[in-house]
Amino acid sequence: MADRYANFAELAAELERDVDYRIRSADRGSPVVIIAPHGGTIEPETSMIAKEIADDVFSFYTFEALQAGAHGDLHITSHRFDEPMALDLVGRAETAVAIHGRKDDGTDTVWLGGRAILLRDAIGASLRTSGFEAELNTTLPGVDESNICNRTRSGKGAQLELPRSLRRGLAESRKGLKDFCSAIQNGIGTTI
């Protein structure tokens, strides 16, 4: 499905903040920012997961659709995602980790992408060590320079695509969520 809006300016001209969508962020001055640019009803549970990964340590950003609707209604493709607060926060960080949702394919495998290869691989290794499935993303690799996760000072970030079944499972299990987010935190910790 094609996006309804080509960029954030088009979306903001038609929709109302805190009615149709909301933006949550916390600038902790960390070298890493955790983002969920398709939160709320766009890719459910991605905001919750990103916030849990960020904890009180990493800077955090999420754009969340507040109304039910088709996936594409408020979805702005990552290489065109240009909401000003996100660009500012990500642009001041050394790297970013973007949490995305994808359709189920019968597995709970996290697809790993982005231009920050060491970070991507460290997160993947940590997830696998913690009992989660993770593999390189060949479908949505997240390597475009203008992808929001790569608009950092280094020009690199990591993109994690989580299937709906995994996101739902994490939302229903506090322990599972903690274990998953700790694995990602540990992976990040080995690279900064």
Burial 118-156, CB ≥16 within 10 A → b, else e: ebbbbbbbbbeeeebebeebeeebbbbeebbbbbbeeeb
Is residue 129 one of the residues assigned to a domain?
yes
Q: 184: buried, middle or exposed (CB in 10 Å: 19+, 13-18, 0-12)?
A: buried
Does some domain include residue 128?
A: yes
Determine, yes or no, domain membership for 2. no
Domain for residue 64, yes or no?
yes
Q: What is the CA radius of gyration of the chain?
A: 15
Looking at residue 166, its pLDDT comes to 98
Is 176 within a domain?
yes
pLDDT tens figures, 144-181 = 999 999 999 999 999 999 999 999 999 999 999 999 99
Domain count, the chain: 1
Which class for 68: exposed (0-12), middle (13-18), buried (19 or more C-beta within 10 A)? Answer: exposed
Please say if the pLDDT value at position 1 is more than 90.
no
Range of the domain at 45: 8-189
Q: Model confidence at 108, in pLDDT bands (50, 70, 90)?
A: very high
Residue 138 has pLDDT above 80, yes or no: yes
Residue 147, domain member (yes or no): yes
In the prediction, which pLDDT does 71 show?
58
Domain CATH code at residue 42: 3.40.630.100
Provide the percentage of residues in the chain whose pLDDT is more than 90: 93
Task: Tell me, yes or no, whether 139 lies in a domain.
Answer: yes
Residue 91 inside a domain? The answer is yes
Half-sphere exposure of 160 (CA within 13 A, CB side): 35
Confidence of residue 70 (pLDDT cuts 50, 70, 90): low
Give residue 63's pLDDT. Answer: 98
